[in-house]
Amino acid sequence: MKPLRIALTKGRLEKDTVALLDRIGYDCEAVRNKGRRLILPVGDRLEVVLAKAADVITYVEHGVCDMGVVGKDTIMEHGTSFYEVLDLGFGRCRFALAAPKGSDFWSGYSSRTIATKYPAVARAFFESRGMDVDIIKIEGSVELAPLLGLSDAIVDIVETGTTLRENGLEIVEEVCPISARLIVNVASMKLRKNEIESLIAQMEREKGGTARD
Amino acid sequence: MFIWAANGESMRTYNKVTPEGTKDLLFEECLIHRAVERKLTAVFAARGFHEVVTPGMEFMDVFDPEVSGIAPEIMYKMSDRRGRLIVMRPDSTMPIARLAATRLQKEEKPLRLYYTQRIYRNHPNLTGRSDEVLQAGVELLGAGGKRADLEAICTAVESLLSCTPDFRLELGHAGFFRAIADGLPITADQREEIRSLIESKNYAALESLLDGLERTPAVEAMRRLPRLFGGEEVFAQAAPLCGSEEAAAMLEYLHSLYKSLSALGLGNRLMVDLGLVQRNDYYTGVVFSAYAQDCGDAILLGGRYDNLLGRFDLPMPAIGFSVNVDAVVKLLAEQGYAPECSRPEVLVYGCPGHEVKALLYASGVTSQGGSCETSVFETEEESIEYARRRGIPNVAIVGQSVKEYSLADNTEIGGDQA
């Protein structure tokens, strides 16, 4: 049987996942000393693939990776069809709507301009409010857009809120909480049920805390 | 004022590429597609199904999203001269239901129909999904009950087996979720949320949502629903969770189907998933799908849809399935199935003045079941060179007399006197 292939979002989620895999008895030495390699064996039952967040979803959806670890933020922005089986509890932050301090975002009737790295999330949020907004996609530091007068507010990931404060922005409303999720390809879940369910169960036991949506 | 369009799209012509999500099929790809089509349809025809073809475009009304579960935004839309909305066929079952309810109204039931045709869906760009998918499928209309369910499922299995031995078949019941949800004190919105969480097997979010409800047997059943998939043991796990007679009857029925299919020798291929809960779709009873290793999506989908024909004013029970031919082709190609393009056995060259005679000679070869190419080159030398380059083993030089010989060793192998 081929090893199960799990795609990890490079960076912090990768480190947290590797730590979790270590705790449940997988030897992740190869991942820690990966050099420039992107596909790494972990024991003989698991293979780790390192990818950018949105690509984790793409690989899992197409079934070239059986499972993946990715932030809820990426799922909300790019999500399509796969199983989202576990909230891993780490990588915690939230989506928030933020505007320059003191501005009254909800007042008046002129239409608002929103800058964001997550246009789909922003669109869904304002649609749920029945509100028409202009959305501008920004690739880098979104906080700049209202400071430069391009937008009235931003929709972005907020962890501690320090960046917002230092740039004179404040949270208008929290959109939703975010954390890392374990996702599984639909066909893999059916064809390799036992291996995948036992890994899910081990991860669930070891993840610590009882993090939930 | 001159406005610079950064993407320059207004200036670009797209005459050398195909739209995203579509592609040309060449030679071996066509052969393998045709081979898969032939294998599948041979089984359909042998089991007494008859082919129909529905138009590539239909009125959008045929695919009412409320009934079809197909979101309007993924249909390719146009309008006809009278401004009515037309879509490129996004699904074959709805048009066949339309056809059965209108033109086949008076025919003897059940109707046993099959099709091989493409469907079109506008997927988001750059996800690697095809917007054009070839499907081969069967609809058995005007028959309910276990015999009809088994007939459809067996035809599905037999047709897939004619292409590949490596797949698993999964059974579910479209009514099971509904029966359990009816026992919950929830709003329509909550019900949809629960359904979508079960569909994505989002255990954690489902639990926290259900934690907000009073702990009744129905709530506990719902909690377990996404995990109720696997082998025959699932039936025993699910039995104590059926809060209503309706759910228990569905479970028992599904188990009896499972046992019948096992008895047909499908035992190790069979799986059950009671958490199969698609949105808004037309399925009402048993649903089934097939999965294969290294194929991220189901390669076959089907189920019973007893209410659909009523939408076309001719209520009758029905069941059907469709095979994703493109996915099966990909699977076979990965398994090394590679039909070769055949080369003609002989190149026929007509010497100047004997062109018509050469064509007659070529017709003679093909009418006897042989294969040949007629040379379009002016000279015998060019023709022979061409035959060598193309690997055509023999040439026939048609002049006063006909000389046919093998290029490999120059031995004369046939020909006739003029």
Residues A142, A155: Cα–Cα separation, whole Å:
8
The answer to whether residues B316 and B352 belong to one domain is no
pLDDT in tens, chain B (418 residues): 556 555 555 678 888 999 989 999 999 999 999 999 999 999 999 999 999 999 999 999 999 988 888 989 999 999 999 999 999 999 999 999 999 999 999 999 999 999 999 999 998 776 778 999 999 999 999 999 999 999 999 999 999 999 998 899 999 998 898 888 888 888 888 888 888 888 888 888 888 888 888 888 888 888 888 889 999 999 999 999 888 889 999 999 999 999 999 998 888 899 999 988 875 578 999 999 999 988 888 999 999 999 999 999 999 999 999 999 999 999 999 888 888 888 899 999 999 999 999 999 999 999 999 999 999 999 999 999 999 999 999 999 999 999 998 988 777 766 554 4
DSSP character at residue B339: P
Residues B197, B177: Cα–Cα separation, whole Å:
12
> Of the residues B294, B311, B334, which one is the last residue of a structural domain?
B334
DSSP character at residue B54: -
> Touching check for B127 and chain A: CB below 8 Å?
yes
> Touching check for B271 and chain A: CB below 8 Å?
yes
Residue B274 placed within a domain: yes
Q: B204–A191: do the CB atoms touch at under 8 Å? A: no
The answer to whether residues B43 and B106 belong to one domain is yes
The answer to whether residues B49 and B29 belong to one domain is yes
> B293 contacts in A (CB within 8 Å)?
187, 191
Residue of B nearest to A204 (CA): B204
Task: Name the residue with tokens 């994505």.
Answer: B200
Q: How many structural domains comprise chain B?
A: 2
More confident residue, A207 or B59: B59
> Of the residues B303, B334, B365, which one is the last residue of a structural domain?
B334
How many C-beta atoms surround the C-beta of residue A128 within 10 A? 9
Region A75-90: what's the mean pLDDT?
Answer: 90
The answer to whether residues B55 and B158 belong to one domain is yes
- Taking phi over 0 as left and psi of -120 to 50 as alpha, with beta for the rest, A75 belongs to alpha
* Radius of gyration from C-alpha coordinates of chain A: 19
> Touching check for B74 and chain A: CB below 8 Å?
no
The model's pTM: 0.86
Residues A14, A49: Cα–Cα separation, whole Å:
10
Q: What are residue B168's phi and psi, to 5 degrees? A: -120, 145
Q: Angle B28-46/B325-334 helices, nearest 10 degrees?
A: 120
Region A63-84: what's the mean pLDDT?
Answer: 92
Q: B203–A211: do the CB atoms touch at under 8 Å? A: no
> B207 contacts in A (CB within 8 Å)?
212
Burial class of residue B356, CB neighbours in 10 A (0-12, 13-18, 19+): exposed
The answer to whether residues B151 and B125 belong to one domain is yes
DSSP character at residue B377: -
Q: A83–B200: do the CB atoms touch at under 8 Å? A: yes
**CA proximity to A96, closest of A154, A22, A24:** A154
Residues A187, A192: Cα–Cα separation, whole Å:
8
> Touching check for B208 and chain A: CB below 8 Å?
yes
Domain architecture of chain A: domains with CATH = 4-91+179-206 (3.40.190.10), 93-177 (3.40.190.10)
Residues 280-309 of B with CB under 8 A from A: 291-298
A77 and A121 in contact (C-beta within 8 Å)?
yes
Residues 128-157 of B with CB under 8 A from A: 128
Which among B168, B208, B230 has the least Cβ separation from residue A212? B208
CA–CA distances in Å: residue B360 to residues B133, B347, B350: 41, 13, 10
Q: B128–A62: do the CB atoms touch at under 8 Å? A: yes
Q: A191–B168: do the CB atoms touch at under 8 Å? A: yes
> A190 contacts in B (CB within 8 Å)?
168, 170, 229, 271, 273, 291
> A213 contacts in B (CB within 8 Å)?
202, 204-205, 208-209
Q: Among the listed ranges A6-10, A45-49, A78-82, B328-332, which one has the minimum average pLDDT value?
A: A78-82
Residue B5 placed within a domain: no
The answer to whether residues B67 and B164 belong to one domain is yes
Residue to mutate among B73, B127, B209, B228, with most A CBs inside 10 A, is B127
Alpha-carbon torsion (A186, A190, A192, A198), positive or negative: positive
Q: Which pLDDT belongs to residue A91? A: 94
Residue B281 placed within a domain: yes
How wide is the angle at C-alpha B198 spanned by C-alphas B197 and B203, nearest 5°? 75
Note down the domain range covering B367: 346-414
Q: Which pLDDT belongs to residue A211? A: 40
The answer to whether residues B225 and B355 belong to one domain is no
The answer to whether residues B385 and B350 belong to one domain is yes
pLDDT in tens, B94-144: 999 999 999 999 999 999 999 999 999 998 776 778 999 999 999 999 999
**CA proximity to B202, closest of A119, A90, A79, A176:** A79
Residues B356, B377: Cα–Cα separation, whole Å:
14
> b/e string for B124-142 if b means 16 or more Cβ within 10 A?
eeeeebbbbbbbbbbbbbb
In this prediction, the answer to ipTM > 0.85 reads: no
The answer to whether residues B141 and B218 belong to one domain is yes
What is the 3 state secondary structure string of chain A?
A: CCCEEEEEECCHHHHHHHHHHHHCCCCCHHHHCCCCCCEEEECCCEEEEEECHHHHHHHHHHCCCCEEEEEHHHHHHHCCCCEEEEECCCCCEEEEEEEECCCCCCCCCCCEEEEECCHHHHHHHHHHCCCCEEEEECCCCCCHHHHCCCCCEEEEEECCCHHHHHCCEEEEEEEEEECEEEEECHHHHHHCHHHHHHHHHHHHHHCCCCCCC
List all residues 6 or more positions away from A77 whose beta carbon is below 8 Å from its beta carbon. Answer: A54, A118, A119, A120, A121
Residues B53, B92: Cα–Cα separation, whole Å:
9
Alpha-helix runs per DSSP H in B130-273: 145-161, 174-181, 188-199, 203-211, 217-224, 233-238, 245-261
The answer to whether residues B149 and B256 belong to one domain is yes
Burial class of residue B81, CB neighbours in 10 A (0-12, 13-18, 19+): exposed
> B273 contacts in A (CB within 8 Å)?
190
Q: Which pLDDT belongs to residue A141? A: 93
Residue B11 placed within a domain: no
What residues are paired with A157 via a beta bridge? Answer: A95
pLDDT in tens, A135-165: 999 999 999 999 999 999 999 999 999 999 9
Q: Which pLDDT belongs to residue B42? A: 97
Residues B142, B381: Cα–Cα separation, whole Å:
66
> Touching check for B168 and chain A: CB below 8 Å?
yes
**CA proximity to B251, closest of B317, B175, B321:** B175
B165 and B265 in contact (C-beta within 8 Å)?
no
Residue B408 placed within a domain: yes
Residue B6 placed within a domain: no
Amino acid at B365: V
What CATH number should be reported for the domain holding residue B402? Answer: 3.40.50.800
* Pairing of β A133-137 and β A153-158: unpaired
Residues B349, A185: Cα–Cα separation, whole Å:
57
Q: Which pLDDT belongs to residue B335? A: 87
Amino acid at B199: E
What CATH number should be reported for the domain holding residue B110? Answer: 3.30.930.10
The answer to whether residues B325 and B352 belong to one domain is no
Sheet with B346-350: strands ordered across: B372-374, B346-350, B394-398, B402-406, B412-414
Q: Do you find a cis peptide bond into A41, omega within 30 degrees of 0?
A: no
Residue B2 placed within a domain: no
B151 and B138 in contact (C-beta within 8 Å)?
no
Residues B227, A198: Cα–Cα separation, whole Å:
13
List all residues 6 or more positions away from B275 whose beta carbon is below 8 Å from its beta carbon. Answer: B172, B177, B198, B199, B201, B225, B226, B227, B228, B229
What residues are paired with A169 via a beta bridge? Answer: A100
Residue of A nearest to B293 (CA): A191
The answer to whether residues B264 and B392 belong to one domain is no
Q: Which pLDDT belongs to residue B284? A: 92
Burial class of residue B299, CB neighbours in 10 A (0-12, 13-18, 19+): buried
Burial class of residue B24, CB neighbours in 10 A (0-12, 13-18, 19+): exposed
Could you give the 3-state DSSP secondary structure of residue B24? coil
CB pairs under 8 A between A and B: 64
> Of the residues B299, B334, B369, which one is the last residue of a structural domain?
B334
> Touching check for B212 and chain A: CB below 8 Å?
no
